[in-house]
């Protein structure tokens, strides 16, 4: 067990100010980047085979799908990753630093209908596509979130005590 004895009140105030100042900002930034990197492979996981029959979100969507496939001379059955219409969502996820944390995101058109907990279409839910919310829950359930945050706080305190 590590103990710290501080007899100088000014020194204690200086050390504690680092917790709410730049030291805390750095710890939050580092923890956020690490958590985003840990969430990335979760979001990149592809589910099993597509749900059958397809759960179209509307008759218009169904009509567009078949018309587009015919126009492009493609078979009516879609094949994930190798299909010419595949956008290969798995490879589009990226982590970026923000001034107050980090973000894991994709710029792929339509990704929100596949993996957003708020806008996921029924077909993708039925197929088993994980969502952003699922990734966060997995990091919490497995203890990864707590471990990363705890490690960064410990590191911040150690830097502060130097």
Query: What is the predicted pLDDT for the residue at 20?
Result: 67
CA distance 154 to 125: 39
- Model confidence pLDDT, tens digit, residues 68-111: 999 999 999 898 889 999 999 999 999 999 988 899 999 999 99
Lowest mean pLDDT among 11-15, 43-47, 115-119: 11-15
Q: Which band of pLDDT confidence, cut at 50, 70 and 90, is reported for residue 16?
A: low
CA distance 94 to 104: 6
- b/e sequence 61-89, b meaning 16+ C-beta within 10 Å: eeeeeeeebeeeeeeeeeeeeeeeeeeeb
Look at the pTM and tell me if it is higher than 0.85.
Answer: no
CA distance 152 to 108: 32
- Model confidence pLDDT, tens digit, residues 126-160: 999 999 999 999 999 999 999 999 998 888 878 77
Which residues, in sequence order, are CB contacts of 161 under 8 Å at separation 6+? 4, 15
Query: What is the predicted pLDDT for the residue at 22?
Result: 75
Q: Which band of pLDDT confidence, cut at 50, 70 and 90, is reported for residue 15?
A: low
Query: What is the predicted pLDDT for the residue at 112?
Result: 95
CB count within 10 Å of CB 50 equals 17
Backbone angles phi, psi at 26, to 5 degrees: -65, -40
CA distance 112 to 121: 9
Q: Check: CB of residue 116 under 8 Å from CB of residue 40.
A: no
- Structure tokens belonging to residue 113: 């209908």
First to last CA, the chain: 17
């Amino acid at each position: 067990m590590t103990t710290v004895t501080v007899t100088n009140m000014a020194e204690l105030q200086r050390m504690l100010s680092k917790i709410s100042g730049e030291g805390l900002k750095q710890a939050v930034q580092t923890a956020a980047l690490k958590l985003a990197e840990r969430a990335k492979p979760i979001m990149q996981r592809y589910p099993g085979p597509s749900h059958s029959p397809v759960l179209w979100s509307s008759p218009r969507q169904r009509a567009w799908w078949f018309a587009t496939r015919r126009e492009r001379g493609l078979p009516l059955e879609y094949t994930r990753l190798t299909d010419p219409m595949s956008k290969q969502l798995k490879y589009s996820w990226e982590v970026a630093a923000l001034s107050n944390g980090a973000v894991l995101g994709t710029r792929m058109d339509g990704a929100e209908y596949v993996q957003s907990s708020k806008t996921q279409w029924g077909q993708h839910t039925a197929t088993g596509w994980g969502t952003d919310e699922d990734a966060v829950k997995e990091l919490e359930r497995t203890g990864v979130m707590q471990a990363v945050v705890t490690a960064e706080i410990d590191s911040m305190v150690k830097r502060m005590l130097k």
